[in-house]
């Protein structure tokens, strides 16, 4: 009797790296050798860095992105949301400046009967982080155990917590390496990182906000739409309902840039019917698409859902859900009545006056975010402390007419010197031209 054929030898990391260097495509089991080996130490940091660089330079296929997402998701625990009664929903943004949409979208979706469980991150560089914003509310906790997440979601309809180390640990390890090796800028690696975390969070419907422009990771709408398509494809392949909105980030989305300032703006917006605010408009777009897809599996009912959400917002339902979420997470619910009495305040507040009269033609989001971070509102490295009270409260946006000396923003700072420096830089940064201003669209594309 003939002996069975010998099993092929296990793939060697060096051979897989060489094939990717030469433009080849790797199978899921081969990608698993590299990722699993990196986690257990059998694949060295230099080898994994070489593989990532080869992939960034030669490109990863969509099939490789799908496979890598499954590997990352499977590297840790997955939240089980099956005990929740309503349609489960999650929302993700690729990051921006003045982007407090989660503080509006989460309670708005809850008011409409969805149950939103969101695991968020902290701000880094010029972008803000939802956890930092929420932690500016005295007493509020974001480090929640799984049973707490499920209990609050079931009782309130929304909960926002910190991602635990048990979810997608492989992504955390790979991202740290990508960050120091210049291999962050890869469509496939970004998509697999984002979607592995969203899939592991367990929601049946995922709504994505993919930013484009000066303050975003991706500079053009076309690049953002390309990433959004891949993310949606990954979500649908995993059996989830998924929709992505491509939104503009050439100027800050909200007026508040800084943690307590952004919470205060969200409360102010939810305390009145939604009108005239770009932040409110994008939040309504995200919530309407998410709820429509969660309920019906498509976006044909978005217009009707948006009208319903506007009504619920105007009647105070979303604000009450935010109040309930804050209280359930240990925060002071009075923040929803009088933010100024509850939130930390900076000791120095100075105006940044307009140098001339005219029309605001540009307010570069990235640099505005960097100025707020320089005041202490953001962090340069993970682990840095943030000051919840400081930041910028913008008084204008692109298209607004201004007079010479009119405040462009109020600078909230720890000392007068810092406030004066940032006020001068902001006045020089903001571009003022002649002639009438025009409306700037915020919603650039919808990937269904």
Q: Rg (Cα) of the chain, in Å, rounded?
A: 23
233, with CB counted inside 10 A (0-12, 13-18, 19+), is: middle
Distance CA 305, CA 288 (A): 6
Catalytic residue among 93, 186, 192, 193: 193
* Catalytic residue status for 91: no
Strand partners, 328: none
* Catalytic residue status for 197: yes
Region of 12 (left: φ > 0; alpha: ψ -120 to 50; beta: rest) is: beta
Catalytic residue among 99, 132, 171, 387: 171
Within 167-245, residue ranges assigned H as helices are 169-181, 187-200, 221-237
Q: Would you tell me how many other CB atoms lie within 10 Å of the CB of residue 381? A: 7
CA 14 to chain centre: 36
Residue 125, φ and ψ in degrees, nearest 5: 70, -135
* Catalytic residue status for 289: no
Distance CA 192, CA 304 (A): 33
Distance CA 110, CA 147 (A): 19
* Catalytic residue status for 92: yes
Contact, 171 vs 207, CB < 8 A? no
CB neighbour list of residue 215: distance below 8 Å, 6 or more residues apart: 96, 97, 126, 127, 249, 250, 251, 252, 364, 365, 366, 368, 369
3-class secondary-structure state, position 221: helix
Residue 76, φ and ψ in degrees, nearest 5: -150, -160
Catalytic residue among 70, 122, 178, 278: 178
3-class secondary-structure state, position 384: coil
Task: Report the DSSP pairing between strands 391-394 and 158-162.
Answer: unpaired
Q: What is the largest CA-CA distance in the chain?
A: 95
Q: Would you tell me how many other CB atoms lie within 10 Å of the CB of residue 383? A: 6
Distance CA 291, CA 326 (A): 22
Distance CA 21, CA 50 (A): 9
Q: How far apart are the first and last CA of the chain?
A: 57
b/e code 276-310 from CB counts within 10 Å (16+ = b):
ebbbbbbbbbbbbbbbbbbbeeebeebeebbebbb
What angle separates helix 28-40 from helix 13-21, to the nearest 10 degrees? 120
Residues belonging to the active site: 92, 171, 178, 193, 197
């Amino acid at each position: 009797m003939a002996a069975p054929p010998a099993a092929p030898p296990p793939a060697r990391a060096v051979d897989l790296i060489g094939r990717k260097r030469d433009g080849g495509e790797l199978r899921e089991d081969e990608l698993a050798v590299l990722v699993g080996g990196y986690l257990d130490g059998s694949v060295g940091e230099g080898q994994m860095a070489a593989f990532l660089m080869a992939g960034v330079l030669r490109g990863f296929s969509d099939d490789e992105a799908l496979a890598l997402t499954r590997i990352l998701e499977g590297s840790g625990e997955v939240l089980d949301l099956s005990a929740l009664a309503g349609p489960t929903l999650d929302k993700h943004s690729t990051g921006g400046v003045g982007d407090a949409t989660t503080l509006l979208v989460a309670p708005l979706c809850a008011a409409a009967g969805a149950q939103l469980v969101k695991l968020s991150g902290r701000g880094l560089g010029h972008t803000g982080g939802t956890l930092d914003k929420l932690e500016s509310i005295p007493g509020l906790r974001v480090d929640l155990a799984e049973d707490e997440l499920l209990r609050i979601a079931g009782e309130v309809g929304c909960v926002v917590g910190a991602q635990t180390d048990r979810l997608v640990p492989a992504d955390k390890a790979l991202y740290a390496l990508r960050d120091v090796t210049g291999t962050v800028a890869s469509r496939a690696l970004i998509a697999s990182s984002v979607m592995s975390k969203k899939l592991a969070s367990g929601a049946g419907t995922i709504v994505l906000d993919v930013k484009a422009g000066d303050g975003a990771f991706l500079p053009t709408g076309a690049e953002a739409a390309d990433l959004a398509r891949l993310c949606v494809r990954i979500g649908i392949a995993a059996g989830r309902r998924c929709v992505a909105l491509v939104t503009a980030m050439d100027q800050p989305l909200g007026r508040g840039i800084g943690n307590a300032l952004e919470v205060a703006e969200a409360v102010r917006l939810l305390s009145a019917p939604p009108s005239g605010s770009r932040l409110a408009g994008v939040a309504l777009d995200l919530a309407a698409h998410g709820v429509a897809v969660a309920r019906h599996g498509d976006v044909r009912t978005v217009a009707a859902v948006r009208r319903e959400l506007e009504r619920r917002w105007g009647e105070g339902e979303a604000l009450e859900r935010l109040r309930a979420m804050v209280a359930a997470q240990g925060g002071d619910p009075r923040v929803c009545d009088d933010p100024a009495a509850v939130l930390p305040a900076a000791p120095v507040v100075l105006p940044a006056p307009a140098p001339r009269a005219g029309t605001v033609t540009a307010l570069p989001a990235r640099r505005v975010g960097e100025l707020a971070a320089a005041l202490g509102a953001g962090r340069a490295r993970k682990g840095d402390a943030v000051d919840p009270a400081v930041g910028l409260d913008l008084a204008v946006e692109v298209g607004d007419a201004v007079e010479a000396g009119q405040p462009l923003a109020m600078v909230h700072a720890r000392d007068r010197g810092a406030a004066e420096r940032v006020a001068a830089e902001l006045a020089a940064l903001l571009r003022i031209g002649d002639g009438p201003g025009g409306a700037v669209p915020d919603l650039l594309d919808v990937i269904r």
